């Protein structure tokens, strides 16, 4: 394995932020996950990284926690409603299969990612003693040359004729608007009763003034690393685009709404930053 096989820096940062939440923030913890941290096994002194500062990054950390918790809850709710297929696009260090699969008997989980990244993840799961659940299916795909996501999924047991929940978190900002529209229209063809969950980034002027300096820093960091954010949407614009693709139901969840749901009553004032919102779409 080479360093190019490792999950990208964003996936690693998300995993470490999840770990810091339990170590640095007071209970009750919104999201508990040390699997990604154990997979990454960061070098000594990782907490000294500027992007790991427990105070300066706390709102950005909380925004990752809230979307992760919301997604967990949605998958479990979907399973209760007889949706037994869960597809994670760009899975990276996602750990639902290790943390929550036992709560969803019969659920098939399909993690879609680059072949080298998945090979690294499978090796690391074995090295840290986490057995790969029979519910988990790794679906390797070359995103640059992927001609048929559904064909690759079908080879690994996915049934497009039955309902599924599909997640695409932290992806849309790297795609052109045309590519996002193509993805939405493709997902609208899922079996009736399916759900597609995606995040999208707000234009800077719609971000809370308190969060704008950090938001600008994120934009600069993404550009300097060669993966610039290129697509931004106002909520109504995103909802209109999704509806035009034929979804039967379009729900928008703002960071403020989710913050009230998951962070209310805390003594430490922890709240997620604004900037990234969630759509839940039903076929």
Mean pLDDT of 195-210: 97
Average of per-residue pLDDT values in the chain: 92
Q: Residue 230 has what pLDDT?
A: 95
Instruction: Give percent of the chain above pLDDT 90.
Output: 77
- pLDDT band for position 1 (cuts 50, 70, 90): very low
d(CA 58, CA 270): 7
Q: Residue 147 has what pLDDT?
A: 64
Question: Cα torsion at 15, 18, 20, 23 (round to 10°)?
Answer: -130
Residue 6 has pLDDT above 80, yes or no: no
Q: Are 69 and 41 in contact (CB under 8 A)?
A: no
The CATH architecture to which 3-282 belongs is 3-Layer(aba) Sandwich (3.40)
Condensed to tens digits (0 to 9), the pLDDT of residues 91-117 reads 999 999 999 999 999 999 999 998 989
Condensed to tens digits (0 to 9), the pLDDT of residues 54-89 reads 888 899 999 999 999 999 999 999 999 999 999 999
- pLDDT band for position 133 (cuts 50, 70, 90): confident
d(CA 110, CA 157): 9
Could you state, in order of their start, the residue ranges of all structural domains in the chain? 3-282
């Amino acid at each position: 394995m080479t360093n190019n096989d490792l999950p990208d820096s964003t996936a690693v940062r998300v995993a470490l932020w999840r770990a810091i939440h339990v170590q640095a923030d007071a209970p009750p913890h919104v999201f508990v996950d040390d699997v990604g941290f154990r997979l990454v096994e960061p070098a000594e002194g990782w907490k000294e990284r500027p992007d790991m500062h427990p105070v300066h990054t706390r709102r950005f950390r909380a925004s990752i926690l809230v979307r992760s918790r919301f997604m967990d809850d949605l998958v479990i709710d979907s399973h209760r409603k007889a949706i037994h297929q869960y597809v994670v696009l760009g899975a990276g260090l996602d750990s639902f299969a290790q943390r929550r699969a036992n709560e969803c008997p019969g659920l098939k989980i399909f993690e879609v990612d680059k072949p080298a990244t998945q090979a690294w993840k499978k090796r690391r799961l074995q090295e840290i003693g986490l057995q790969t659940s029979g519910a988990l299916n790794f679906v390797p795909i070359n995103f640059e040359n992927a001609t048929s996501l559904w064909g690759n999924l079908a080879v690994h047991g996915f049934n497009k004729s039955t309902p599924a929940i599909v997640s695409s978190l932290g992806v849309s900002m790297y795609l052109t608007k045309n590519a996002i529209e193509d993805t939405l229209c493709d997902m609208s063809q899922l079996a009736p009763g399916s759900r597609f969950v995606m995040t999208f980034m707000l234009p800077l002027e719609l971000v809370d003034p308190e969060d704008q300096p950090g938001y600008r820093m994120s934009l600069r960091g993404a550009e300097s690393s060669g993966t610039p954010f290129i697509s931004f949407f106002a909520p109504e614009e995103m909802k209109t685009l999704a509806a035009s693709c034929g979804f039967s139901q379009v729900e928008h969840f703002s960071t403020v709404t989710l913050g009230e749901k998951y962070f209310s009553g805390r003594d430490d004032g922890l709240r997620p930053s604004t900037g990234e919102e969630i759509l839940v779409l039903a076929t």
